[in-house]
Structure 1
Amino acid sequence: MKVSRKVLWIGGVILCLIAAVGVLFYERPLEVFNRLLYFQMSVSGAHSRWMTLNGNRIHYYEAGPEDAPPVVLVHGLGGHSEDWRMLQYFILASHRRAYMMDLPGYGRSEWPQNFSYSIPDEASTVVAFMDALGLKQVDLGGWSMGGWIAQRIAIDHPERIKRLMLFDSAGLHSRPEWQTDLFMPTTAQQLDELDKLLMPHPPQVPGFIARDILRYSHEHKWVIQRALNSMLEGKDTTDGQLPALKMPVLIVWGGEDQIMPVSNGQEMHRLIPQSEFEVIPGCGHLAPIQCSDQIGPKVKAFLGK
């Protein structure tokens, strides 16, 4: 049987496309992974949006009914808005409208050189974000560094926060017992050590993916360094101010978190008498992604009260 030239041409084009995708995946696997995350967010019903705050372009997602009560979610150090991709399903199931932003210096937002990347300045940006969208009062959630930012907002603007959710949150006056330089890895060994801190059973990272992660880390480590330097100064810690919070607070912690130990969550719970404290066994610092099936129902129940 003869094969037509058209069929051969189409087959050749398909093979070339497959080869091109293969080369891209090998050379820039993070770009491919990010595109898949963007697609996952789009399929979930989250709409990608942009706004300008203080002269900087900020990216965010919004999802859920327009007339539903708003929830604003703040990611952690080195994170991005897509980190909420799993928990958003439970938040939307609570009849909420979710807003997930990329902080300045992270994700698809701008990386301004003249920004401090401190907790107070990031918190001011989140408040400006709420103002720009006309969000007078919100349920606010923060993860890790984002939890610290969320605490700062709840302390400074308590009338703006209806409920507060903290996931494996930073913010207390306690110095890390691990090497903070691991958040700016320069070698594959350091990347492996960071993964072991972040999750109980990290997968083996192929060499070409590790290489691209290290490239990205090298290009953007100045943001992480500024943020870490500011946090390690300890002047913006919240220990003395948490007892003043009056809104309902949910504190959720991975039972095997090595970045922020469970003892930090216990102390936050002690300092906020009306708070609820949930420990998720077997989960690490990435619990909101890797253990969302256990955390999600607790979030949904909290928002439903």
Structure 2
Amino acid sequence: MGSRRIVAGVHVLLAALHIYWATGATWPAPDERSLSRAVLGVELSFAPQVVLPLAALHLLLAFAVFRSDRSALCRAVVAGLAAGLATRAALGLVWIFTDSAFYWLNLLVYTPACIALCVADVRLLRVRWLKAAVVAGPVAAVTVLTLIAYVYQPAEQAHPAASADSRYVETPLARFHYLQRGTGSPVVLLAPGASPASAWDAELATLAHDHTVYAVDLPGQGETRLHDERFAFDLDGMTNAIGQFLDALRLESVVLGGNSWSGGWGLAYAQQHPDRVSKLVLLAPSGLDVSDVWSWEILKQPLIGEALAKLTANRSMVEAAVRSLFVHQNLVTPQLIDSMWVPGTYRDNVRSMYALERRLDWSVTEKALPSTRQPTLVLWGDRDTVLPVAQAARFGELLPNATVRVLPGCGHALTVDCADRVTPLLSAFVR
């Protein structure tokens, strides 16, 4: 009876804490974002509609624990609770050996508490095999996940044949792959995040009438291969890569463009080196200090991020992800899917997925937006499923020389999904 009361009391206290957070309070953190990072390791909402149902769940669990000696249904709930706690405890033990965003809380509070509560819940169960199963099953699952995350490597697919526009340039950092076409003043287009430089094919063809256009794969993208095994996939690393590429081709001042992550990288480079960027083209760019959609936020979790990045490096998963970026599904061809999938199997490109999600600090770029003086074209699709179209207005407010256009019926992959509308806008702006 004593252990039931203690465990039930813990859930009542947790319910009370969630109700407290529902009032808008964020103790023990200074704000909601810091609270989410400290408690969960990712950025999720602590709004009343989120935390009040969780408070109700804890009260339900408290009741089930307290009545577990009299009700088979309550014992089933306790068994599920024990399995969940065993899973969290096993994950916590693995996270002790990783660079977790909430390392000390996990080490000193969460993992010991989960182990203690799991033991207490298991003791309330009457069936011996069930006691073993609710612990052994989750531990086995976490063990498999750990092997996937840190041992398994997806099979690298064969490199595609180089296109007629493909070029390579060696630097101390990497062997950069890029596409080059045309003559005239230089325009550099950064491959969209997790996409190859060929995503800019339509824009490359049109801009090449008046400019020398380079579409480049940065480290972790497309066919570029790192030489430096210690390369840090963060904002400084990516902007340094842009600089090395420009230096290698002796490009002193360029029009710089990017889509999604690469828009943020280009923005950061322009802020750091305003003398080398005459104009900016930002297509649904990163760069605001806001949370990502959950499917990207989850990559920030150690072990889980590594495992997901590897498990999703298969063609069917890539096709599903690509289709979610497009409004015009007829443009999602087998050739397009292969162009995304094949480089997505390379070791460094897989690693970049979770490493970039964890390390890109967009607070730096957002703070510098009011002092970003280059003329900037910002384009956004109104049906973007990755970065909400509302962010376009925020860029327009903060960038002093921005032209913002929202394109109806377009998704996140603007360079392909709406190339017919993006290309003339790009061409006119660059000219």
CA distance in 2, matches of 1:191, 1:106: 15
User: CA shift at 1:263, angstroms?
Assistant: 1.1
Task: Give me the TM-score of the superposition, normalised by structure 2.
Answer: 0.55
Picking from 86, 97, 101, the partner of 2:212 is: 97
Partner of 2:264: 148
Partner of 1:117: 233
- Tell me: CA distance 1:49–1:192, structure 2 relative to 1, closer, same or farther (3 Å): closer
Amino acid at match of 1:115: F
Picking from 372, 380, 383, the partner of 1:253 is: 380
Partner of 1:275: 402
User: CA shift at 1:64, angstroms?
Assistant: 0.7
CA distance in 2, matches of 1:120, 1:236: 13
Higher percent of residues as helix: 2
Partner of 1:105, secondary structure, is coil
User: CA shift at 1:195, angstroms?
Assistant: 3.5
Partner of 2:249: 133
Identity, % of aligned positions = 25
User: CA shift at 1:178, angstroms?
Assistant: 2.8
Partner of 1:51, secondary structure, is strand
User: CA shift at 1:120, angstroms?
Assistant: 1.7
Flag the structure with more relative contact order, 1 or 2, with Cα contacts below 8 A and sequence separation at least 6: 1
CA distance in 2, matches of 1:237, 1:104: 21
Partner of 1:297: 424
Q: 2:188, 2:213 within 8 Å by CA — same for their partners in 1?
A: yes
Q: Deviations over 1:155-195 (max 9, x none)?
A: 11111111110011001001013311498373688556534
1:75 pairs with 2:200? no
User: CA shift at 1:283, angstroms?
Assistant: 0.9
Picking from 168, 171, 194, the partner of 1:53 is: 171
Q: 2:220, 2:350 within 8 Å by CA — same for their partners in 1?
A: no
Partner of 2:200: 84
Task: Give me the TM-score of the superposition, normalised by structure 1.
Answer: 0.75
Amino acid at match of 2:421: Q
Partner of 1:107: 222
Amino acid at match of 1:134: R
Picking from 299, 306, 311, the partner of 1:186 is: 311
- Tell me: CA distance 1:191–1:274, structure 2 relative to 1, closer, same or farther (3 Å): same
1:190-201 residue pairs with structure 2 within 5 A?
191=318, 194-200=321-327
Partner of 2:224, secondary structure, is coil
Q: Deviations over 1:177-236 (max 9, x none)?
A: 331149837368855653453123547999xx89x94995485422211111112xx365
CA distance in 1, matches of 2:413, 2:362: 26
CA distance in 1, matches of 2:333, 2:415: 21
Q: 2:260, 2:285 within 8 Å by CA — same for their partners in 1?
A: yes
Amino acid at match of 2:171: L
Q: 2:286, 2:362 within 8 Å by CA — same for their partners in 1?
A: no
Q: Deviations over 1:233-272 (max 9, x none)?
A: x365411111112221100111111111111111111111
- Tell me: CA distance 1:278–1:31, structure 2 relative to 1, closer, same or farther (3 Å): farther
- Tell me: CA distance 1:217–1:158, structure 2 relative to 1, closer, same or farther (3 Å): same
Q: 1:72, 1:99 within 8 Å by CA — same for their partners in 2?
A: yes
CA distance in 1, matches of 2:260, 2:377: 14
Unmatched segments (≥5 aa) in structure 1 = 1-27
CA distance in 2, matches of 1:214, 1:247: 36
Partner of 2:208, secondary structure, is helix
Partner of 2:367, secondary structure, is coil
CA distance in 1, matches of 2:263, 2:171: 21
Q: 1:73, 1:99 within 8 Å by CA — same for their partners in 2?
A: yes
Amino acid at match of 2:219: P
CA distance in 2, matches of 1:62, 1:271: 33
CA distance in 1, matches of 2:400, 2:343: 45
User: CA shift at 1:72, angstroms?
Assistant: 0.8
Partner of 1:198, secondary structure, is coil
Aligned length: 260
Q: 1:147, 1:170 within 8 Å by CA — same for their partners in 2?
A: yes
1:235-250 residue pairs with structure 2 within 5 A?
237-250=364-377
Q: 1:258, 1:285 within 8 Å by CA — same for their partners in 2?
A: yes
User: CA shift at 1:77, angstroms?
Assistant: 2.0
- Tell me: CA distance 1:300–1:192, structure 2 relative to 1, closer, same or farther (3 Å): closer
Q: 1:199, 1:285 within 8 Å by CA — same for their partners in 2?
A: yes
Amino acid at match of 1:258: T
Q: 1:142, 1:148 within 8 Å by CA — same for their partners in 2?
A: yes
CA distance in 2, matches of 1:55, 1:245: 27
- Tell me: CA distance 1:83–1:139, structure 2 relative to 1, closer, same or farther (3 Å): same
Please, which moves more after superposition, 182-191 or 68-77? 182-191
- Structure 1 runs (4+) greater than 6 angstroms displaced: 203-206
